[in-house]
Amino acid sequence: MHDVLIIGAGPAGLSAARWCDELGLDTLVLEHSEEVGGQLLSIHNPIENYLGIHPHNGRELRDHFVEQTKDCEFDLWTNVEITSVDLKAKRLVLRSGEELKSIAIIIATGLRRRKLGIPGEDEFIGRGMIESSGDRQAFAGKDVCVVGGGDAAAENALLFAEVCPTVTLVHRGKKLRARREFAEQLHTNHCITVFPESVVHRIIGHEGVEAVEIERAGAIKPFQMAVQGVIVRIGFEPNSERFRDQLKMDQDGYVLVNGVQETMLENIFAVGDVANPLSPTISSAVGGGATAAKVIASRLGR
Ligand SMILES: Cc1cc2nc3c(=O)[nH]c(=O)nc-3n(C[C@H](O)[C@H](O)[C@H](O)COP(=O)(O)OP(=O)(O)OC[C@H]3O[C@@H](n4cnc5c(N)ncnc54)[C@H](O)[C@@H]3O)c2cc1C
C-alpha cells in the first residue's frame, strides 16, 4: 500500500514524484518504457522555452530532471506493464501479477504519435519506418516519403531534404496546415515534392521499405513510388485508453480534470499532456505534477 502511485515518468510524472517526495508521501512511479523522460527523448533541438535552463535537446533536460531526483526516496519501476486498473478501488495489477494499492493515483501517461494504421507500418519499424529526424544521417542518399501536412511533417521534410535526393510530402488536405515560413521553404526546395489531397495506403518492401502506395485525388488508381524511408507525422493522441471506461474524457480521449488536476474520481489525478490538449508543454506538465502532489499532501495532512 502506497500513498501515491504515479503512472508515467515524463516531465509531469517526474515533477509529481519530486514533489510527493518533498511532501513526505510514500510514492511509487511506474514507467512503461526502459527509460524515463517521455517525449523529452524525442526532442533533438535546443529547448528555448523552459525557464531556468537552456538545454541543447530534450535528453539533456531529462538528465537534469533525473539528477534532481537522485536523492529522493520514491521508488521508480521501469519496463512496467499495467494489465488492469480499477481507479475507484485505487488498485493496479501488473503483467508480473503484482497487485498495487494506494490512497491516490496520478495519471501522467502523456501522448504518443498517431499512426496511419496501414499495412507495413509496424512491420518495417527499424527497417525504413523512421522514428525521429535525429536518425536522418542513416537515410542520407535515400529517397524518403513524409506523411502529414502540419508543422512537424513540414519540418521533417525540410530536415530530410538536407541529406536526401528526393523527399515527397503526402498529405490529405487541399492546403498544408504548416506555418507559412515552412510552407514557403517546402515549395522552393527543389528536392521536395508535395502531393496534396493524397493518401498513403500501404508500405511495401521485403528486408526494408522499398515503396509506398499512394492514392491521389482525381487519379484513376493508386500508384507505387519507390522510397527507402517513411516518416509519419500526423499528430498525437493521448495514452488514456486504459482508463476510458472509468473517467470522463473529451472526444479525443484527453482526460477531463478540474482546476487542481483532479478527475471525476476523488484522489485520482491526471497531469501533463494526457489531460491538457490546449497546452501540451513541459512547463504545464511540470506545473500539473506539482499541483496534484500538493493537493494530495494537504488532504493527507502532510
Ligand atoms: C519533437 C517534440 C518537440 C517538443 N518541443 C517542446 C518544446 O520546445 N517546449 C515544450 O514545452 N514542449 C515541447 N514538446 C512537448 C513536451 O515534450 C511535452 O509537453 C511533455 O513531454 C509532456 O510531458 P508528460 O509527462 O505529460 O508526457 P510524456 O512526455 O508523453 O511522458 C509520458 C510518460 O508516460 C509513459 N506511459 C505512457 N503510458 C503508460 C502506461 N500505461 N504505464 C506506464 N507508463 C506509461 C510514457 O512511456 C512516457 O514516459 C515537444 C514534444 C515533441 C515530441
Give yes or no for residue 38 CB within 6 A of ligand 1: yes
Beta carbons of 236 and 280 less than 8 angstroms apart: yes
Could you read off the pLDDT of 223-277 as tens digits, one per residue? Answer: 999 999 999 999 999 999 999 999 999 999 999 999 999 999 999 999 999 999 9
Ligand 1 nearest-atom number relative to CA 48: 8
Could you read off the pLDDT of 149-196 as tens digits, one per residue? Answer: 999 999 999 999 999 999 999 999 999 999 888 999 999 999 999 999
Give yes or no for residue 285 CB within 6 A of ligand 1: yes
The protein residue with its alpha carbon nearest to ligand 1, atom 23, reads: 11
Give yes or no for residue 281 CB within 6 A of ligand 1: yes
CA 211 to centroid of ligand 1, rounded, Å: 31
CA 274 to centroid of ligand 1, rounded, Å: 9
Beta carbons of 299 and 267 less than 8 angstroms apart: yes
The protein residue with its alpha carbon nearest to ligand 1, atom 26, reads: 272
Give yes or no for residue 242 CB within 6 A of ligand 1: yes
Pocket-testing residue among 7, 32, 39, ligand 1, by greatest number of atoms within 8 A of Cβ: 39
How far CA 268 is from CA of 60, 86, 96, 251, in Å, comes to 31, 11, 24, 20
* Distance between CA atoms of residues 138 and 50, nearest Å: 30
pLDDT of residue 135 exceeding 90, the answer is no
pLDDT of residue 42 exceeding 90, the answer is no
Pocket-testing residue among 49, 247, 282, ligand 1, by greatest number of atoms within 8 A of Cβ: 282
Give residue 83's identity as a one-letter amino acid code: T
Give residue 259's identity as a one-letter amino acid code: G
CA 40 to centroid of ligand 1, rounded, Å: 6
Mean pLDDT of 188-215: 96
Q: Which pTM was predicted?
A: 0.89
CA atoms within 13 A on the CB side of 28: 16
* Distance between CA atoms of residues 302 and 293, nearest Å: 11
Instruction: Quote the radius of gyration of the chain (alpha carbons, Å).
Output: 21
CA 60 to centroid of ligand 1, rounded, Å: 14
